[in-house]
Structure 1
Amino acid sequence: MGKILLVEDDESFGYILQEYLELHDFNVTLSKDGEDGLRTFQEHNFDLCLLDVMMPLKDGFTLAKEIREVDSDIPFMFLTAKALKVDKLKGFRLGCDDYIVKPIDQELLIARIKALIKRACTESSAIQTSYEIGKYQFDFSNQLLNLGDQAQRLTEKEAKILQLLCESKHEVLDRNKALKEVWGKSDFFNRKSMDVFIHKLRQYLKADPTVQIINVHGKGFVLEDR
């Protein structure tokens, strides 16, 4: 059904909720606090995040903000015992998709999770697949980079990285976000591998001097074509 990151500092409640979600065929990873939750999110792919609000080390609101900086599209829900309007408004201002107050209605929670994952899948299926990069035409679906009557076939990873660059053209593509989406996690070896792929893409695009992939130290890469 989907991969869920559950961040909950109440160990007993966390395990019970994890088991309940897994009984409904979700793949659930449980983190015990906000810092561990952020590390886990950066290292793996998820379809949805369930975040407790009141946690040690890093609260749910702070964690949500940092998750959004890595992946602006991931749906997430807050779990909280606080039903105050001001807290709900703060959650929605951070971009949360739902706000569940404890004690949780488990059937309602499952229905809401399914709806959010289904919506996210529908939105991702409508993502653009054809792009203009300077004088080039990039056909992501067929992994082809075309310049006039010349075509360069890309590998799956090359095409995915180039698509991510196109989606954030003229803005910084966060390195960790790209690593997570293409390789599944961010580590030393995958970072080195990504640098190799970026070099290859630069070679493919060098026939148009207006096209550049710029390295932004400590952050990521920017695709420019002007």
Structure 2
Amino acid sequence: MSTTILVVDDNEGIRYTLKEICQFAEWNVIEAVSGKDAIALFEKMEPDLILMDYHLPNGDGITTTKEIRKFNVHVPIIVLTVDERQEVADTFMKAGATDFALKPIKAPDLISRIRLNLKVSKLTEDHISAFVDKGIKQDTLMSIKSYLLNQEKAITIDEIKNALPIAYQTVHRYLNYLEGRGEVEVVSQYGKKGRPKNRYRLI
């Protein structure tokens, strides 16, 4: 089945570059120049992933992300922006974005990010019934898995909690769920005193 990417950016040159990169990876591309257009196109075309700019006419990237999340909680949304401020990244993640990258984007990095996000999305959709049975929410699980996928080494629950708008107890429950499914490995780090500290990574 073909994959469709929605590129949302008001800069024609950037849209062209992103389209070339996506088509090189053999993905279909549809384009929107504003937040309003993006929402309308999303409802009509139901793309598999969104590349979202921050500064947009008729609704910025954050507002557009929130609107899309109202009727679709699992589609991956990768934010692309020149703004390096941590608070911008945090605000986007709270709005429902699944990944965040700074411009200018290098083709290999973007293709890798898209593939990872599509993989997590596919895993999420494949196990919707299991999520419902166990009280696991699709969007929360995908956020945690997307974050783990982008880490080079095993990380702690505190590190995940600080990076995502998710409570410690919730992160712990979802990691236990993923461990039970054989998707996460627990790495125990022993210090000089006290109990070992657990770190987690995707298998």
Q: Can you list the C-alpha shifts for 1:165-193, whole angstroms capped at 9, x where unaligned?
A: xxxxxxxxxxxxxxxxxxxxxxxxxxxxx
Residue equivalent to 2:16: 15
Looking at structure 1, the residues matched to 12 and 74 of structure 2 have their Cα atoms a distance apart, in angstroms, of 28
Name the Cα RMSD after superposition: 1.7
- Residue 86, structure 1, aligned to residue 87, structure 2: yes
Residue equivalent to 1:32: 33
Residue equivalent to 2:147: none
Residue equivalent to 2:137: none
Q: Which structure 2 residues correspond to residues 206-221 of structure 1 after superposition, within 5 A?
A: none
Percent identity over the alignment? 30
Instruction: Please state how far the C-alpha of 1:127 moved relative to its aligned partner.
Output: 2.2
Residue equivalent to 2:191: none
- Residue 54, structure 1, aligned to residue 20, structure 2: no
Residue equivalent to 1:163: none
Q: Which amino acid aligns with 1:111?
A: S
Residue equivalent to 2:112: 111
Tell me the matched-pair count.
131
Residues 81 and 101 in structure 2, CA contact (< 8 A), matched pair in contact too? yes
Looking at structure 1, the residues matched to 21 and 121 of structure 2 have their Cα atoms a distance apart, in angstroms, of 22
Higher helix fraction (1 or 2): 2
Q: Which amino acid aligns with 1:128?
A: S
Q: Can you list the C-alpha shifts for 1:25-66, whole angstroms capped at 9, x where unaligned?
A: 111111111111110001112111111000111100000000
Q: Which amino acid aligns with 1:117?
A: L
Residue equivalent to 2:151: none
Scaled by the length of structure 1, the TM-score of the pair is 0.55
Instruction: Please state how far the C-alpha of 1:126 moved relative to its aligned partner.
Output: 1.4
Residue equivalent to 1:138: none
Residues 4 and 27 in structure 2, CA contact (< 8 A), matched pair in contact too? yes
Instruction: In structure 2, list runs of 5 or more residues that go unmatched.
Output: 133-203
Higher strand fraction (1 or 2): 1
Instruction: In structure 1, list runs of 5 or more residues that go unmatched.
Output: 132-226
- Structure 1 runs of 4+ aligned residues shifted over 6 Å read none
Tell me the SS of whatever aligns to 2:96: coil
Scaled by the length of structure 2, the TM-score of the pair is 0.61
